[in-house]
A and B are shown apart, each in its own frame.
Chain A
Amino acid sequence: MTARPAETVETDETDETDDAELIRRSRDDPEQFAVLFDRYVHQIHHYVARRLGTQAADDITAETFLAAFRRRDSYDLARPLARPWLYGIATTLVARHRRGEERFLRALSRTGVDPLPEPMADAVVDRVAAQEERRLAKALAGLSRGDRDVLLLIAWGDLSYEEAAQALGVPVGTVRSRLHRARKKARAALGGDDPAQEEE
C-alpha cells in the first residue's frame, strides 16, 4: 500500500473558486478548506524548506494550515488570494526556529556543505555550494529576523511589497525600509555586488 491522502475532498465545484470564497464557504462547510491546502501546500513547504530544511518544513507546513483553518473566521474576505496570509503564518512559525536558521546559514557559509538533513525519501548527493552561495548564506545569517523575512518573502515567496506587508501585518513603508536595509547589508557582505538588485 502506498502513502496517499486519507480521503479526497470533492473539488468539482471549487476549482475555479477564489481563495476568499473558499474560506467564506469553509466557515459553514469546513471541508472546503482542504482545497486551500491542495492549492498551496507545495509552495508553502518549499519556502519553509529553503529556510529550515525539509524535516522542519514538514511540521511547519502542517501547522501553517491548521493555524489558518482555526483563524479562518478572521480572514479578510476582500482579499481574493490567500497566499500572503498563508506565507505570513508560515513565516511566524519559522520565527520560532530563528536560531536554527542562522546556525544553518553560518555553517553553510563556513563549510559550503548544506548541513540540513535531507528528506528520508531522497538520497541526495552532497553538493558543495559555490563561493557565491556561501557569501550569500553569511549575508542572510547577519540580517535581523524582520529584514530577512521581508527579503525572503519577496525573493522566495514571490510576494509583492503589498502582499509582504499583508503577510507580516506591517505597513508597506516598513516593508520598503526593511528590504532596503536587507539589501544594503547583503551588498556590504558580498563586497559591493547587490544580490537583491531589483529591476524597478
Chain B
Amino acid sequence: MEEIKRFRASTAAITREAEAAARARLLHEIRTGREPGRRRLPRYAWRIVLAGAFAVVMGLGVIRSQTPSVVPVASVQELSERAAEAAETHDGPEPSSGQWLYVKERLAPGAGVGVNLDERTTSETWTSVDGKHQAWYQPGGNLLVQGTHPGISAAELAEPPVTPQKVLSRIDTVTADAMAGWLDSDGSPYREPREQRLFQAIYQLMGEQALSPEVRAALFRALPSIKGVTVRPDAVDADGRRGVAFAYTGDWARYELILSPDDFRYLGTYGVTVKDRTNYSASGSVFVPAGTPLVLSAQLETHLVDRAGQRP
C-alpha cells in the first residue's frame, strides 16, 4: 500500500484563492438557500447579458445624473459572487443566429505609447453573436470585418457544463495558442504572464461579446482563481462613471474591469503602467514611465442588430 500511498502525494494543496472561492459559494448557498450558476439554460435561452444594457440605452441621462453609492465590497470573492449573481438574474433579448452585437464605446484616444486621458473619441464595433468576427468602419467609410481576439466564442464557452474552471481553461488554451508566435518589441518571443493573458481575455469577452448569463456568471466566478486579481472600489470609466473593479496587476501594468457598483453591469476598462520600461523597436527605443495610461473605455450602448455595420 505504501507505494500507492506515495503516488502523487506531492500534489499541490488547494490555493488560498480556490479555498476562499469555494467557501464563498458555500456561504452563498447557506445564506440564500440556492447556489447560483448551476442552473441549466434551455437550449434557446440565449440571452444578451451586457447586464443593464437597457438601462444604459433608455436611461443614460438618469444614470449619469445620479452618483450611485459605492457598494463596499470586502473581497474579490464577494465581488465575484455578487457580480455573478447579478449576471444570472439578468434577462435580456435573446440573440439569434447571424445577428451582430453593436457596441458603442467612449475611449481615450491613443497617444504614441498609451492614451490621452484629456480627450475622448467614440467607437462603434459589431461582434457576430457567435463571437468569431468583429467589424468596424475605417476612416474611409469601408466596413472592415476581422476575426476576434482571443478568437474564442460565446457559443464555445456556453457548451455545458459551464463551470468557472472550464471556461478559464478553455480561454487559457485558446489564448496561449493565439500568442504562441508573437514577438516582443526587441524580437524575442513574446511572454506575457498567464494570469494577465486570462484577465485581459475575460474583460475583452465581457465588453465585446453576447455572452449567455451562465457564461458571464462563470467568468465572474473564475476571476478570483486568477492569482493577482484584487478589488478596487474606486474605479472611474471613460464616461466619468464611478465603479467597482476587478484589477490585475502584473510586472509592468495594472488592468481594471470596471463594473457598476449597484447592479454590477459592465462599465468599461482602465489600464496603467506601474513600472518604468523602455520599449525597443526598429525605429528606436521609447521610454515609458510608470503611470502611463494604456487604455480607458466606457461602454455606452449595446444592441442586437441583423448585420455588421447596421446602426440601431
Q: Bin the interface of chain A by size.
A: 35 or more
Closest to A118 in B: B12
CA distance A3 to B78 in the complex (A): 10
Residue with the highest number of chain A CB atoms closer than 10 Å, among B23, B225, B230: B23
Bitwise, A121-165 to B at CB < 8 A (1) or not (0) is 110100000001100110010000000000110111000000000
Do residues B1 and A198 form an inter-chain contact, with CB atoms below 8 A?
yes
- Rounded to whole Å, the gap between the CB of B274 and the closest CB of chain A is 16
Do residues A3 and B26 form an inter-chain contact, with CB atoms below 8 A?
no
Known: A3-B77, A34-B26. A124 touches B12 (CB 8 A): yes
CA distance A59 to B227 in the complex (A): 16
Whether A117 is near chain B, meaning CB under 8 Å from some CB there, is yes
- Rounded to whole Å, the gap between the CB of B32 and the closest CB of chain A is 10
Whether B30 is near chain A, meaning CB under 8 Å from some CB there, is yes
Known: A6-B78, A59-B163, A120-B225. A42 touches B13 (CB 8 A): yes
Closest to A135 in B: B3
Q: Which of A29-52 contact B (CB under 8 A)?
A: 30-31, 33-34, 37-38, 41-42, 45-46, 49-50
Bitwise, B15-36 to A at CB < 8 A (1) or not (0) is 1111111111111011100010
CA distance A41 to B25 in the complex (A): 13
Do residues B23 and A37 form an inter-chain contact, with CB atoms below 8 A?
yes
- Residues in A neighbouring B7, C-beta threshold 8 A: 50, 133, 136-137, 140
Do residues A55 and B169 form an inter-chain contact, with CB atoms below 8 A?
yes
Do residues A119 and B15 form an inter-chain contact, with CB atoms below 8 A?
yes
Known: A50-B9, A55-B169, A155-B4. A6 touches B27 (CB 8 A): yes
Known: A58-B22, A121-B17, A136-B4. A34 touches B12 (CB 8 A): no
Which A residues fall within an 8 A CB radius of B?
1-7, 9, 30-31, 33-34, 37-38, 41-42, 45-46, 49-50, 54-59, 61-62, 65-66, 69-70, 114, 117-122, 124, 132-133, 136-137, 140, 151-152, 154-156, 186, 193, 195-199
Which B residues fall within an 8 A CB radius of A?
1-5, 7-9, 11-27, 29-31, 35, 74-78, 81, 163-166, 168-169, 172, 194-195, 224-227, 230-231
- Provide 10 A-B residue pairs closer than 8 Å at the C-beta atoms, listed in order of the A residue: A5-B23, A33-B30, A41-B19, A42-B14, A46-B11, A55-B169, A117-B169, A119-B18, A155-B1, A155-B4
Q: A34-B30, A58-B164, A197-B2 are in contact. List 16 more A-B contacts (CB 8 A).
A: A7-B74, A33-B30, A37-B22, A50-B11, A54-B11, A54-B12, A54-B14, A57-B14, A58-B18, A58-B165, A62-B26, A66-B29, A69-B30, A120-B226, A133-B8, A199-B1
